[in-house]
């Protein structure tokens, strides 16, 4: 471990600027307890993957690749796959700390000699077993915000994604499971049932629906996810870790450029059907009870204009501000009013419907799925 400091903008610096204390002992004390040493015995049973950081030719030896074995093992004579070049090559020799070795295993730092590899076409990246690496153009990832990044992390923005030694631009769309309060607000379910739904959430699945986020939230107890769409495919291990940064930020700003980090949990195919991903925006229309027709029916107003086609909303559920659930049952007249059939009867208190005044709002709650095949579709879930 060495101590470095930045020379912002690459400008000249004086001798005074060079005087700084280079004590890394405190940093080491913080890092050591947090280091997790992988179970090497377990890693040996996985397919071979090596992160190559340098590639150069040596006359009479072939092309030398130096790197670190992430998992599995490799032996002299093995055939390995170089995804970036789309070729298989045989290992002619292995060295560890300048000593010839018959094999190397997970965690080893090594140099491998291969033949017929153009070092000008491949400098660094992942190599290994053909089935151990994946070519990813889009993926679902779980994410954690880096607290030192102070700017808003917006959906739809581009970030520099670094996996291993490779960095590529990617567009991020953030989402998460809705909170229990949001489940109540966006659907027709009580608080107790909503809490049960939240407690059942464990990890990402395509069967569940997710709330689209305009930006990554800073303080959130629920896991947050992202859909990453890379500008060009990137080769990586299936469960690779990544760091997202804003390299295009103004260099004169004193700010951290590392925005978030995470792990890929679902690789998506090149021709992935986005409608499988249930990301929604909550929508609500508000109206007012105009009159009571009978204990099971009311007339609503101020939700639609007189030009609205109310037939589009027929059979959709609504909720009154007193908690009563009902169903839109067609238009009433030509002024935009509508009929609502209630699930439970109103207590009129012995009064005639015309004399009974019900001061309540009417809420038509639905969801717009971002990737639904029908952009006009209004989805209602958790409907009693």
The dihedral region occupied by 319, where left means phi > 0, alpha psi between -120 and 50, and beta the remainder, is beta
Given this model, what pLDDT does residue 242 score? Answer: 94
DSSP 33: G
Domain 282-369 carries which CATH code? 2.40.10.190
Give tens-digit pLDDT for 223-247: 999 999 999 999 888 888 999 999 8
Query: Is residue 14 predicted with pLDDT exceeding 70?
Result: no
41-132 and 282-369 agree in CATH topology: no
Give tens-digit pLDDT for 155-197: 999 999 999 888 999 999 999 999 999 999 998 888 898 999 8
Give tens-digit pLDDT for 18-47: 555 667 888 888 888 888 877 777 777 889
Query: Is residue 306 predicted with pLDDT exceeding 70?
Result: yes
Q: What CA–CA distances, in Å, run from 322 to 190, 286, 325, 352, 359?
A: 13, 14, 9, 20, 9
| Domain covering 135-272, topology | Elongation Factor Tu (Ef-tu); domain 3 (2.40.30)
How far apart are alpha carbons 74 and 112 in whole angstroms? 10
Given this model, what pLDDT does residue 61 score? Answer: 86
Query: Is residue 9 predicted with pLDDT exceeding 60?
Result: no
How far apart are alpha carbons 324 and 342 in whole angstroms? 7
**Whose structure tokens read 């997970």?**
106
Residue 241: enclosing H or E segment and its boundaries? strand 241-245
SS3 183: helix
SS3 372: coil
Give tens-digit pLDDT for 273-294: 999 999 999 999 999 999 999 9
Asked whether the beta carbons of 364 and 313 are under 8 A apart, the reply is yes
Domain 41-132 carries which CATH code? 2.40.30.10
Buried b (16+ CB within 10 A) or exposed e, 182-194: ebbebbbbeeeeb
Given this model, what pLDDT does residue 53 score? Answer: 92
How far apart are alpha carbons 286 and 364 in whole angstroms? 6
Give tens-digit pLDDT for 311-347: 999 999 999 999 999 999 999 988 999 999 999 999 9
Asked whether the beta carbons of 186 and 168 are under 8 A apart, the reply is no
Give tens-digit pLDDT for 101-136: 999 998 899 999 998 888 889 888 899 998 888 889
Asked whether the beta carbons of 348 and 295 are under 8 A apart, the reply is yes
SS3 116: coil
How far apart are alpha carbons 340 and 324 in whole angstroms? 11
Query: Is residue 16 predicted with pLDDT exceeding 70?
Result: no
Q: Which of 1-10, 216-225, 252-261 has the highest mean pLDDT?
A: 216-225
Nearest to 228 by CA among 281, 158, 164, 178: 158
How far apart are alpha carbons 174 and 169 in whole angstroms? 16
Residue 193: enclosing H or E segment and its boundaries? helix 191-200
Query: Is residue 5 predicted with pLDDT exceeding 70?
Result: no
Give tens-digit pLDDT for 55-106: 999 988 889 999 999 989 999 999 999 988 999 999 999 999 999 999 999 8
SS3 322: coil
Nearest to 227 by CA among 280, 152, 155: 155
DSSP 195: H
Query: Is residue 212 predicted with pLDDT exceeding 80?
Result: yes
Residue 284: enclosing H or E segment and its boundaries? strand 278-294
Query: Is residue 10 predicted with pLDDT exceeding 90?
Result: no
Asked whether the beta carbons of 377 and 368 are under 8 A apart, the reply is yes
How far apart are alpha carbons 144 and 278 in whole angstroms? 21
Q: Where are the domains of the chain?
A: 41-132, 135-272, 282-369
SS3 308: coil
DSSP 304: S
Query: Is residue 268 predicted with pLDDT exceeding 60?
Result: yes
Given this model, what pLDDT does residue 189 score? Answer: 87
The tokens of 4 are what? 């470095």
CA 69, chain centre distance (Å): 28
DSSP 27: H
DSSP 189: -
What is the DSSP secondary-structure string of 146-178?
-TT--S--BTT-EEEEEETTEEEEEEEEEEEPP
């Amino acid at each position: 471990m060495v101590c470095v400091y930045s020379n912002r903008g690459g400008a000249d610096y004086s001798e005074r600027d060079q005087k700084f204390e280079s004590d890394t002992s405190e940093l080491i004390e913080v890092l050591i307890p947090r280091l997790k040493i992988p179970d090497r015995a377990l890693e040996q049973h996985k397919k071979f993957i090596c992160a190559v950081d340098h590639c150069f030719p040596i006359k009479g030896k072939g092309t030398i690749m130096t790197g670190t074995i992430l998992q599995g093992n490799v032996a002299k004579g093995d055939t390995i796959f170089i995804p970036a070049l789309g070729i298989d090559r045989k290992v002619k020799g292995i060295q560890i700390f300048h000593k010839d070795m018959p094999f190397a295993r997970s965690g080893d730092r090594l140099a491998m000699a291969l033949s017929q590899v153009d070092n000008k076409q491949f400098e660094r990246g992942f190599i290994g077993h053909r089935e151990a690496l994946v070519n990813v153009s889009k993926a679902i990832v779980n994410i954690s915000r880096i607290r030192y990044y102070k700017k808003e992390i917006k959906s739809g923005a581009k970030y520099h994604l670094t996996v291993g030694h490779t960095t590529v631009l990617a567009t991020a769309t953030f989402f998460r499971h809705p909170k229990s309060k949001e489940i109540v607000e966006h659907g027709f379910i009580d608080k107790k049932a909503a809490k049960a739904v939240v407690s059942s959430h464990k990890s990402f699945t395509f069967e569940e629906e997710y709330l689209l986020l305009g930006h990554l939230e800073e303080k959130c107890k629920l896991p947050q996810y992202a859909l990453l769409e890379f500008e060009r495919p990137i080769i990586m291990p299936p469960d690779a870790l990544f760091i997202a940064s804003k390299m295009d930020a103004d260099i004169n700003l004193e700010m951290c450029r590392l925005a978030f980090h995470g792990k890929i949990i679902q690789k998506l195919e090149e021709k992935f059907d986005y409608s499988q991903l249930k990301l929604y925006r909550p929508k609500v229309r508000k109206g007012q009870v105009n009159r009571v027709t009978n204990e099971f029916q009311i007339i609503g107003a101020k939700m639609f204009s007189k030009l609205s086609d109310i037939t589009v909303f027929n059979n959709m559920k609504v909720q009154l501000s007193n908690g009563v659930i009902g169903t839109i049952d067609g238009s009433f007249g030509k002024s935009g009013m509508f009929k609502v059939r209630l699930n439970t009867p109103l207590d009129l208190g012995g009064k005639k419907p015309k004399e009974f005044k019900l001061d309540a709002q009417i809420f038509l709650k639905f969801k717009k799925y971002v990737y639904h095949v029908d952009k006009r579709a209004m989805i209602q879930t958790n409907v009693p």
